């Protein structure tokens, strides 16, 4: 009887081999039954391949301090009255893909100015975008302030990242979430 027990024990022990022994899963991946179960943003046999998101959802935009005068050296609005900021986004030089529905009235150009976007702006992570900033004037239309260019691809390390852009006289950042 003990011979059968010993044979059963040996067969059981051999069949219970750890399939994850020696299997390394990177970037927070976990080995399950010999295969890596990779976290969001990572793929491949060992979770070493970074996956590009399907969409980049913009949550808000922060415009850094900018010049208080236009290209002709004139103030944006009447003395004591700041510019009324708004912006739109184009894909490279294509038509407008997003226009912010509101403007920030009489802003102080010497401080950061924040636009809440609430995720209404979706960007393709592999395309090139230009953000155009304007002083919204009711009587004269919009006066161009400047642009910033981004390609929203980078190292996707958090569920929400900040993408910085600087172009000429303007700098801004966008807070984004990624959709996989």
3-state secondary structure of 152: coil
The pLDDT tens digits for 75-85 are 888 777 889 99
* HSE of 65, CA atoms in CB hemisphere, 13 A: 4
Q: Is 53 exposed, middle or buried (0-12, 13-18, 19+ CB in 10 A)?
A: buried
The pLDDT tens digits for 30-86 are 999 999 999 988 999 999 998 888 888 999 999 999 998 888 888 888 777 889 999
Q: Tell me the fold of 2-50.
A: Laminin (2.10.25)
Asked if 2-50 and 55-179 have one fold, the answer is no
Token readout for 155 is 């190292």
- Is the domain 55-179 a CATH 2.60.120.1270 member? no
d(CA 115, CA 101): 10
The pLDDT tens digits for 148-176 are 888 776 545 554 577 777 776 788 888 88
Which of the four pLDDT bands, split at 50, 70 and 90, describes residue 11?
very low
Which pLDDT score is estimated for 154? Answer: 55
9 membership: H or E segment, kind and range: helix 2-15
Judge whether 14 and 6 are in contact, CB under 8 Å.
no
15 membership: H or E segment, kind and range: helix 2-15
114 membership: H or E segment, kind and range: strand 113-123
CA distances from 121 to 41, 46, 86, 97, 145 (A): 21, 34, 14, 9, 21
Instruction: Label each residue of 81-110 as H, E or C.
Output: CCCCEEEEEEECCCCEEEECCCCECCCCCC
d(CA 102, CA 113): 13
d(CA 3, CA 19): 28
Sequence-separated contacts (24+) of 25-31 with Cβ below 8 Å: none
Q: In the chain, what are the domain boundaries?
A: 2-50, 55-179
């Amino acid at each position: 009887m003990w011979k059968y027990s010993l044979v059963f024990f040996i067969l059981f022990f051999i069949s219970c081999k750890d399939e994850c022994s020696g299997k390394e899963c990177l970037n927070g991946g976990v080995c399950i039954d010999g295969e890596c179960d990779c976290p969001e943003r990572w793929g491949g046999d060992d979770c070493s391949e970074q996956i590009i998101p399907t969409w980049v959802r913009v949550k808000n935009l922060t415009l850094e301090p900018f010049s208080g005068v236009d290209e002709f050296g004139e103030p944006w609005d009447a003395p004591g009255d700041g510019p009324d900021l708004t912006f739109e986004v184009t894909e490279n030089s294509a038509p407008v893909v997003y226009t912010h529905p509101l403007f920030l009235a009489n802003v102080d150009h010497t401080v950061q100015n924040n636009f809440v976007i609430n995720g209404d702006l979706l960007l393709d992570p592999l395309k090139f975008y230009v953000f155009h900033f304007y002083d919204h004037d009711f009587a004269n239309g919009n006066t161009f302030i400047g642009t910033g260019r981004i390609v929203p691809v980078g190292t996707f390390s958090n569920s929400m990242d900040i993408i910085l852009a600087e172009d000429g006289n303007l700098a801004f950042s966008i807070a984004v979430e990624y959709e996989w």
